[in-house]
Amino acid sequence: MPRTPPEDAQARRAIAPVICYPTDTLPRPDLPLYTAARDGATKCAEYLVPPREARVYDVPAGHVFRITSVEGPQVGDLNLHNAHDLTERFYSGKTRALHGTHVSTGDRLWSSFPHLRPMATILADTLDWYGIDAYGGSVHDVIGTRCDPYTANVLSGAQYHQCCHSNLTRALAQHLAVPAAGAEPLVHDVLNVFMCTGFTRDTGQYFMKASPVRPGDYIEFFAEIDLLGNLSACPGGDCSAEHSSDTAACYPLLVEVFAPAKGALDRWSQPPRNGYDQSHGMG
């Protein structure tokens, strides 16, 4: 049983929150420039990610990649690495702290310490109309981690190998030509593309519900640095019921990469590594 609240409990609860990280001083992306470059870009590669599998793909800086729902509603788990240093990877926790629980057009995907810089900027999102629904749910979350066989094992004792964590591990291991154990430590918390999630108001529990994505919906990212993408088509399908099993209907996801026209980004430069000196007060 919880303790008896103090007399001023209501007054303490009534204190208004403040935003932890006001974003007005963040470096702003030049969205008109990016959009103009995108409009003149031409497709240079495409990859079809099969259901319950992942695929690795390169996106040079200044290029755009688009993830599209094809055939049926499907959620994707996205990892991003600096193509030249795989230890610089997408940092979902800090992206969440800066941009909120779910991301959309204009938000940026930030990299891990000590780099902490934008890796990608979202240029377009056909689900931006969804907003926040009556349950507190929204799309493209940075609150979930990725479905994984360890949690599945704790919950049910299962040995299931098609969770996004394993799909991402296999795809990266094959790309690097290393055993699973060599790739697994590089796999990280994802951007849950097209996934509709939130926290229940009464118990604060993480929930998912059927994704509003339909074939033809897409989300587009501008690569701020040379990227290695790794996208898993989640075994949860549209995540309306369960994941970590083969019971959900699953569909492929399409990844397309677009190259900017020559000169389109002449006024643009890649974001530098973070400016903190890393001495941590140790002189």
Residue 232, token pair as written in the block? 């898993």
Of 147, 219, 227, 265, the one binding Zn ion by CB under 5 A: 147
| Binding map of Zn ion across residues 63-102, x = CB under 5 A, - = no contact | --------------x-------------------------
b/e map 43-72, b = 16+ CB within 10 Å: eeeebebebbbbbbbebebbbbbbbbbeee
Q: Which is nearer to Zn ion, 139 or 234 (CB)?
A: 234
Judged by beta carbon, residue 37 or residue 139, the one nearer Zn ion is: 139
Build a one-symbol-per-residue string for 174-193: x at contacts with Zn ion by CB under 5 A, - elsewhere: --------------------
| Residues in region 9-68 near Zn ion by CB under 5 A | none
A 10 A CB-CB count for 12 gives 9
Minimum Å gap between C-beta 67 and Zn ion is 14
Distance CA 82, CA 29 (A): 19
Query: CB pairs under 8 A, 24+ apart, for 85-91?
Result: 86/186, 86/228, 87/112, 87/186, 88/112, 88/115, 88/119, 89/186, 89/188, 90/119, 90/188, 90/189, 90/190, 90/191, 91/116, 91/188
Residue 122 binds Zn ion, judged by CB under 5 A: no
Position 196 contacts Zn ion (CB under 5 A): no
Contact stretch for Zn ion (CB under 5 A) within 14-22, 35-43, 156-164, 208-216: 156-164
- Least Cβ distance, residue 161 to Zn ion (angstroms): 13
Residues within the interface to Zn ion (CB under 5 A):
77, 147, 164, 234
